A and B are shown apart, each in its own frame.
With several copies, the nearest count.
Chain A
């Protein structure tokens, strides 16, 4: 669920850009280091970026019969670690904006914060926690992807509610409204993505 170009007021667009920037810059440093260390690093990261983009372009069937796209943030965070995902996720978001008109450039900061920062970190944390507590690889992957998805949508709802608070009930009211609009579809989608991630991770572990 990308916030469309122009949907956020300028102050909000700028503020979220500032919020996401340190993570992306940190990730860019990590990426530069990886590339300098070994020459195959560059090609592997390019492959990882393309994988992230194409993953988010797959249509997954949802309960309502309509279809939706996985975010891939949980899987990406498990495979490539959150700092690098901050850069790869941002590159993916720029391509989605310019190649598919999903999201936008003024909303890039906000979308990067939810999908390239918050989602991967939450997903990765939950994955690690699940593994520490003795969960299997599959359980960790499922919970991680579920958490990444859900936290992405929660952050998006917060971003929208902050930008467009309800004149009577304020931020809290707007958050409840946005939460309600997205929860119906997104909880199921998060479960579907969790299952998908579980299957993929199992498949990769086998081979």
Chain B
């Protein structure tokens, strides 16, 4: 799917998106980066049909999305957005009820709804929470329930806004494992984040808001461009900085830089060896 030359402004305000294009390649992991207020969230809402752009178009399978009821239903069946704050997304008494909301609205038969709920809970590794009231769960658990609600729609593209915000390091790790599972099952995943090292580690493709311009390309190239990152008011990544220094001194073989401290330790020989 793709956003093509999209423009948008809220209610007479300044343009939030100005001529922005983004192509999301099927089956790949795309990271969207930019400082707060750059238009990231607006772009995600445009892509997922939550907002009709003032100009340009959103394309699904090469065809522009029609903003009638049928067109939007088609888009929403294909693409699902998970918001940063799970409390903006959970509104039912129990976990199972919340996850069943989307499938019920699709008009599926009850058996199919049940199967989808069970499948989504299993995919998010929260089958044990199914009968718990949502507001008694921890933040990380609520986040998983919110994702399960989107996954139960069986979207081809899953879009996550800052999914790691508020999680502790162990929570981030297990979320990445879960997303890996979804990708293995064929889902295209898009993630908005501030964390350059996380994006370097996780993404195939990257898109970075450089002021109003959206730069796109392979993650390992784009995220190694410190000038671009600085202009975008992001930080240079540890992975590229450390990797580059070690490689310059002949301590790291060619290829992508190790993406975590653990990988780095494993890749660099100790001085005796």
Question: How far does the alpha carbon of A204 sit from the alpha carbon of B93 in the complex, in Å?
Answer: 7
> B residues within 8 A CB of A206?
93-94, 133
- The yes or no answer to B92 lying at the interface (CB within 8 A) is yes
> B residues within 8 A CB of A46?
91
Give the distance to chain B from A176, nearest Cβ to Cβ, in Å.
Answer: 40
Question: How far does the alpha carbon of A43 sit from the alpha carbon of B94 in the complex, in Å?
Answer: 17
Question: How far does the alpha carbon of A204 sit from the alpha carbon of B135 in the complex, in Å?
Answer: 11
> A residues within 8 A CB of B94?
206-207
What are 13 contact pairs spanning A and B, CB under 8 A?
A43-B91, A46-B91, A203-B92, A203-B93, A204-B93, A206-B93, A206-B94, A206-B133, A207-B93, A207-B94, A207-B133, A207-B134, A207-B135
1/0 contact string of B131-164 vs chain A (CB within 8 Å): 0011100000000000000000000000000000
Question: How far does the alpha carbon of A206 sit from the alpha carbon of B91 in the complex, in Å?
Answer: 12
> A residues within 8 A CB of B93?
203-204, 206-207
| B interface with A by C-beta (< 8 Å) | 91-94, 133-135
Question: How far does the alpha carbon of A123 sit from the alpha carbon of B94 in the complex, in Å?
Answer: 28
| A interface with B by C-beta (< 8 Å) | 43, 46, 203-204, 206-207
Main secondary structure of the interface of A (DSSP, over half): helix
Give the distance to chain B from A32, nearest Cβ to Cβ, in Å.
Answer: 19
Closest residue of chain B to A46, judged by CB?
B91
Closest residue of chain A to B136, judged by CB?
A207
Question: How far does the alpha carbon of A77 sit from the alpha carbon of B94 in the complex, in Å?
Answer: 26
Closest residue of chain B to A206, judged by CB?
B93
Question: How far does the alpha carbon of A43 sit from the alpha carbon of B133 in the complex, in Å?
Answer: 20
> A residues within 8 A CB of B92?
203
Question: How far does the alpha carbon of A129 sit from the alpha carbon of B112 in the complex, in Å?
Answer: 41
Question: How far does the alpha carbon of A203 sit from the alpha carbon of B134 in the complex, in Å?
Answer: 12
Give the distance to chain B from A207, nearest Cβ to Cβ, in Å.
Answer: 4
Give the distance to chain A from B208, nearest Cβ to Cβ, in Å.
Answer: 34
Give the distance to chain B from A49, nearest Cβ to Cβ, in Å.
Answer: 13
> A residues within 8 A CB of B133?
206-207
Question: How far does the alpha carbon of A203 sit from the alpha carbon of B92 in the complex, in Å?
Answer: 7
> A residues within 8 A CB of B135?
207
> A residues within 8 A CB of B91?
43, 46
Give the distance to chain B from A77, nearest Cβ to Cβ, in Å.
Answer: 22
Question: How far does the alpha carbon of A43 sit from the alpha carbon of B91 in the complex, in Å?
Answer: 9
Question: How far does the alpha carbon of A100 sit from the alpha carbon of B94 in the complex, in Å?
Answer: 20
Question: How far does the alpha carbon of A43 sit from the alpha carbon of B89 in the complex, in Å?
Answer: 12
> B residues within 8 A CB of A43?
91
